[in-house]
Amino acid sequence: MATNKRKYEVYLVGHGHGCYAKEYRREFMGETWATSAAKAISNIRYRMRQNGEYMPDDLGDAYDMGYVHYELEAVAA
């Protein structure tokens, strides 16, 4: 029996800490049909690599006062 696919919207999300606490970034990366949120993220990551795009590096400062971590987040549409 085949698993039903759902439509997901995938976003690039940046979570900030310390002096970058207000650096909360949410950017729409695309839509995809998938059986789970993890598979939707995988689909978009594959699509990004095919277009020569990569995840941004995490951002930190020289004094270790702040940090921003980027990840992909899938939301059922």
Helix (H) or strand (E) holding 70: strand 66-76
Task: Name the residue with higher pLDDT: 33 or 2.
Answer: 33
pLDDT at 37: 96
- Write down the domain spans for the chain: 15-76
Look up the pTM and report it: 0.80
Closest CA to 73 of 35, 32, 26, 17: 26
Task: Name the residue with higher pLDDT: 67 or 32.
Answer: 32
